[in-house]
Amino acid sequence: MDKKQVKKMIDKIVAPAFAAEGFYATSPDEPGTWLYARQAGDVEHKIYFRSRASSCPQGLEYNLEQRFYTSVPNSSSCHLFQLIEGLPLESELMWYQTEEQFEKRLIEVVKLSIEKAIPLFDCLARPIRSTTRELDVELSTKTQKKAETFMKTHGMTWASDASSIMNRVLETEEIIRKVQLEPFEEVKDLLLCATAYLGELIRQVFGGEWMWEPNYGRAYLLCKVGGYESAYFQTGSLNITTRYWQIPEIYGDSLRYYYGQLLEKLGYRNK
């Protein structure tokens, strides 16, 4: 499919459905992209589409990238599969080769967007508080003691395998959600201890080393998880824990998404 065919299909399927939700087509950020926006008070809600081609054994295949974000500075930006838990990975949902496949994908994406993703725009519009080096310094001080404090305070246990790690992650999410509306200074110690606990869960099962990020030294992390040097196997991020405390409604910012992705890289897939 060429870009004209893609545009024709988007105009046919996406434009009228989104118009009913108050979105209008606006100037895209770059060629080959489509941008829909609506005004909600002082905030603009935006949905971005981009179609890209790549080679495959059958010739060319195309990927339809979709992203949801707002005009609020320092707010979250997510793909559809990051907004809705349980969706297949983007590669499974968005790839197509024929016009018939593309139409089917678009209809499915629009339906999910309207029913599940668009209602989350108020959550996406929350400005995200970033962590600081000073907080990472606090995390680096007696990290294992912080982990033990969190575990004992909340009646939790260590994990013995990947499955029990995910159970502890879900329990930690419940604890953090209970203090979502509390001022940061009142929950700072809880978030520090929760981060240390989650990192220790991984370290005790898969190994790893707490250290300052090797490349830039900007964050204190559990590195070399599973014996891998790659940055893809770093965890224990205070930033992730803090983001979840602020926007727990967004699956792509959840602890279960973040730690689930890490465990998947280590060969464990949650059923």
Q: Are residues 137 and 247 in the same domain?
A: yes
CB within 8 Å of 92: residues ≥ 6 apart: none
pLDDT at 263: 93
Same domain, 66 and 137: no
* pLDDT higher than 60, residue 58: no
Q: Estimate the crossing angle of helix 143-153 against helix 184-206, to 10 degrees.
A: 100
Does residue 271 form part of some domain? Answer: no
Look at residue 119 and tell me if it is in a domain.
yes
Q: Is 270 domain-assigned?
A: no
Residue 89 has pLDDT above 70, yes or no: no
pLDDT over 70 at 124, yes or no: yes
Same domain, 141 and 228: yes
What's residue 158's pLDDT? Answer: 96
Output the CA angle 192-198-204, nearest 5 degrees: 130
For residues 140 and 112, state if they share a domain.
no
Domain identity same for 193 and 254: yes
**Residue range 232-248: average pLDDT?**
91
Measured distance CA(6)–CA(64) in Å, rounded = 10
Give the per-residue pLDDT at 61: 58
User: Distance of alpha carbon 24 from its chain centroid, rounded?
Assistant: 26
pTM confidence score: 0.86
* Ranges of H-type helices in the chain: 3-19, 80-83, 90-94, 99-112, 121-124, 133-140, 143-153, 162-177, 184-206, 238-246, 255-265
Final residue of a structural domain among 80, 104, 124: 124
**Quick one: pLDDT at residue 162?**
94
Q: Are residues 173 and 260 in the same domain?
A: yes
Give which of 249, 116, 258, 268 is closest to 195, Cα–Cα.
258
Instruction: Please check whether residues 146 and 114 belong to one and the same domain.
Output: no
Q: Do 93 and 118 belong to one domain?
A: yes
Q: Select from 69, 92, 124 the last residue of a domain.
A: 124
End residue of a domain, out of 88, 103, 124? 124
Is there a single domain that holds both residue 85 and residue 197? no
Find out whether 128 and 244 touch, Cβ atoms under 8 Å.
Answer: no
What's the CA gap between 18 and 26, in Å, rounded? 12
Task: Say whether both 44 and 168 belong to one domain.
Answer: no
Q: Are residues 98 and 139 in the same domain?
A: no
- The answer to whether residues 15 and 119 belong to one domain is yes
- Output the pLDDT for position 81: 82
Number of domains in the chain: 2
The whole domain housing 169 covers 133-265
